[in-house]
Every structure is written in C-alpha cells, then in structure tokens.
Amino acid sequence: MYLDHGEKHQHFMSFTYKAKSWHKPQQCYSKVESTGLGMNIRHFSSNLPQKDARKIYFDFYVKRGDSSENRIKEVKNMCFSDRLSNHSFLANFFRLMMSSLAYEMFLLLKQKIKKTRFEVAKKWLISSIRTYLLKVGATIKITKRRIYYQLSKSFVYKGLFREIITQ
C-alpha cells in the first residue's frame, strides 16, 4: 500500500447490489485507491455485459467523465457562458443562448478542421481555435460587388484558414 512503498495502489472489484429503491439487483463496481492524501473510493453501476471492473472503469467510466467534463468546461470557460450577471432572467437567458450558439459554431469549425491536412490543428480546443484562426490581423476592403480580405503576411495558419473556407 501507499504507506509501505510510497506509491498509490488501486484495487477494483465487481459485485451485485440492490438498493431499496431499485426494482432488481444491478452489477456494481468499486475502485479503491490508496494515495498520499488518503483513501479515494469510487462506486458506479453499469449494465454493460463486461465483468472486468478495471476495464469498465478505464474504458467507459473515465472516458465518459473526461469527455463530458471537458465539453462543459469548454462551454463555460471558452464561450463565456458563466457570465450571467444581469438581474433580468431574459437577459441572462439570451446571453446563454448566444454562448450556446457560439459553441455550436465552434463545433462546426472543429469538424471542418478535422477534414484538413493540419494534424496539429485537429487537437485544438476552442480557445486555441479562437487564438490561432480568429484573432488574426487582416485588412478588409468592401466594394459594390465584393468583400475582400487580406490576411497578415505573418499569419502562420494561412494555409489552414484557406483550406477551411474552401471546403
């Protein structure tokens, strides 16, 4: 254990459990971890046919949590949906809808980036997309028939930008 060797120890177990409110027993899993901060115990239930507790924990439970937590963090921090500071419900609701719309637009942009040949960009978060693709210097010229834009000569991702807008 941790006290003996100075390293964390994990133990996984699988068991059947029926809570009073459940109509039938469920397959449940536990992860017991001993760390320098004390015991870390996690319990969860699953209807997956797989019985190996360690495999279910890492292949399903951890990945599910990581992906949903990261999406929530993106909406909150990178689309500023946590800024609902107005006293009016409708104003806050409108602001939240605008944040949700911005998030959906970033997801569409991410899908377009995945279709390009730029491997580095395929791993970008919303904050990176905003910094590297949208916060760039450009000159815009508007005529009667067209709108022209000229990107900065030092814009590193000019090729990626062109590839995205020509899809």
Regions of the chain with pLDDT less than 70: 1-6, 65-67, 79
* Helix (H), strand (E) counts: the chain: 6, 5
> In this predicted structure, what is the pLDDT of residue 149?
87
Q: pLDDT tens digit string along 39-82? A: 888 888 888 877 788 888 888 887 776 667 777 777 777 767 77
- Answer for the pair 156, 141: CB distance below 8 angstroms, yes or no: no
Q: Which residue has the tokens 């419900």?
A: 89
CB count within 10 Å of CB 29 equals 23
CB count within 10 Å of CB 54 equals 14
The residues spanned by each domain of the chain are: 1-78, 93-167
Structure tokens at 1: 């254990």
Of the candidates 147, 145, 153, 151, which has an alpha carbon nearest to the alpha carbon of residue 164? 151
How many angstroms separate the CA atoms of 110 and 21, rounded?
A: 43
